[in-house]
Each structure stands twice: as C-alpha cells, then as structure tokens.
Structure 1
Amino acid sequence: MSTLTKPNHIGRKISRIRELRDMKQEALAQALGTNQQAISILENSETIDEDKLIAIAKALGVTAEAIKNFSEEGVINYFNTFNDSDNNFNSYNTCTFNPLDKLVESFEENKKLYERLLQSEKDKIEYLEKLLKEK
C-alpha cells in the first residue's frame, strides 16, 4: 500500500495551505463559523463542495483554483526562484539610510514630544492654580 498522498485530495491540500499560512484549525474554524472538529473532518475529506471550497479559500486568503492546483513541488519551486542567480533581488539588497541615524532621529522626536507634553501639563497646572486663586 502506498503512503503517498493522492494528488487530488482537496482536504490534505487545504490542511497544507493552512499550515503554510501558520493558521491553526481553530482559527480556520472561527473564520468559517464552525468548530475545530468540523475542520478536521473537512481536511480528511477527499472532495469538498464547490461553495464550501470557495469559502475556505477566502478564509485562507487564496483562490479556490489555488487550492485545487496546490502542490508541494510548486511551493518548493516558487521559493527556490529567490535563490536563482538570474534574480537580482538579493544582489541589490543594500540599505539607503543609516539605521542608527534613524534611531537617533526617533529618540530626538520622542524627546521633543515629551517636552511639549510636559509644557502642556505645566500650562494646565498654572491655569488651574489661577482659577483656584480667583475663588
């Protein structure tokens, strides 16, 4: 008996896509308005109703066609394209700014905001003291 999964087993494809999306059965169940046991049964089903498949695809953030045509080889090939020498994505991956400068800028901005807040509180205290003296 073969241990390989059948290529047209929709439930296993849904399960694998869900796992790749880092989604638990409970999260998918909540998105579909059902419970975890129903998702487990669904993922063990070889075929699924088209309307239900569309709803599942929407919850997973893919198309129904993507579920039908899903294959592990396709996923591996997709991610391997990022390492091809023809793809210049990684060769020009340089920063156009100094991250430390950005960090210092954010500290300076936070400092200015804090000073403005502090001045606002001082003004408020002065105003309240003035109101109390008038009474």
Structure 2
Amino acid sequence: MSTLSKPNHIGRKISRIRELRDMKQEALAQALGISQQTVSTIENSETIDDEKLTEIAKVLGVTVEAIKNFSEEAILNIIGNTYNDSNVVNGNAYSCNFNPLDKLIEIYTEKEKLYERLIEAEKQKIEYLEKIIKGK
C-alpha cells in the first residue's frame, strides 16, 4: 500500500479518538444530541463539515486540528518513546513510594497495641465486677 495515496479519513480518526477516550457511540451521540446511527454514519464518512467537526471535537475534549492531524503511528511513537518498563508489574504501571513490608509491620504493630488495650479493658471490667460481687 502506497503512503502517498492514503486517504485522510476524518470519520475513522474520530472513531479512534472516541475509543481512546473510552467513549461509546451512544455517549457521543447523546452529547451531540443525535442518534447512535448518525454517529456511526459520521465515523464511516471520509469528510465532515467544519461545524459538525467543531462540535465533535468539543465533546471529545480535543481540538479540530487534533482530529485532522491524528495519527496512530504518532501515538505509538509517543508510547514507545516514553514507556519505561522498570515500573511495570504484571503489565500494569506501578510506582510504589513506600515499602509494603514496612506498612505491613506497622499495621501488625498497631493491631497488637489494640489487642493489648482490649485485654487491659477486660481485666479492669473483671476487677470491677469482682469488687461488686465481694461488696454484697
């Protein structure tokens, strides 16, 4: 496929930006005040009038230029150039700014203190009840 004859399919670009925004056609349609079928028609169109494109850009939270210049290759380039796998655990970006073991020990110590206070309160209750029983 020649890159020179690649069409500038605005509808497909709108569709990809919508998907990247995790938005369904129904949500876009509702925000625009049109039907889902109309959104589908727009996304299948190679060209869209500027007024409608401006409305769509506003709903998607991007500029008209961003839609017109959208390129999946550029997005993949950005991700590839900024991706740092040293912070990835099981496929998820993970950046821990504390030691989980320290937190676990801290919680365990706090739990011990609470149990000790509970035991002390129970001892005091028993002593109080014994005094009442002996006083009778």
TM-score by length of 2: 0.60
The code of the aligned residue for 1:14 comes to I
**Distance in 2 (alpha carbons) for counterparts of 1:55 and 1:99:** 47
User: How far 1:75 sits from its partner (Å)?
Assistant: 0.9
Two-structure CA RMSD over aligned residues (Å): 3.3
Residues 84/99 of structure 1: CA separation in 2 closer, same or farther (3 Å cut): closer
The code of the aligned residue for 1:74 comes to A
**Distance in 1 (alpha carbons) for counterparts of 2:42 and 2:83:** 36
1:38 match = 38
**Distance in 2 (alpha carbons) for counterparts of 1:58 and 1:6:** 26
- 1:17 lines up with 2:31 in the alignment: no
User: How far 1:94 sits from its partner (Å)?
Assistant: 5.2
Residues 94/18 of structure 1: CA separation in 2 closer, same or farther (3 Å cut): closer
1:97 match = 98
2:55 match = 55
User: How far 1:44 sits from its partner (Å)?
Assistant: 1.1
Q: Deviations over 1:69-117 (max 9, x none)?
A: 01110110111122369xxx95xx753335684995xxxxxxxxxxxxx
* Structure 1 runs of 4+ with >6 Å offset: none
1:117 match = none
Residues 68/95 of structure 1: CA separation in 2 closer, same or farther (3 Å cut): same
Whose Rg is larger?
2
TM-score by length of 1: 0.60
Gaps of 5+ in 1: 105-135
Residues 23/94 of structure 1: CA separation in 2 closer, same or farther (3 Å cut): closer
Matches within 5 A, 1:75-86: 75-83=75-83
The code of the aligned residue for 2:40 comes to S
Q: Deviations over 1:2-29 (max 9, x none)?
A: 6x99441101110111111111110100
Matches within 5 A, 1:59-74: 59-74=59-74
Identity rate, percent: 65
**Count of aligned positions:** 100
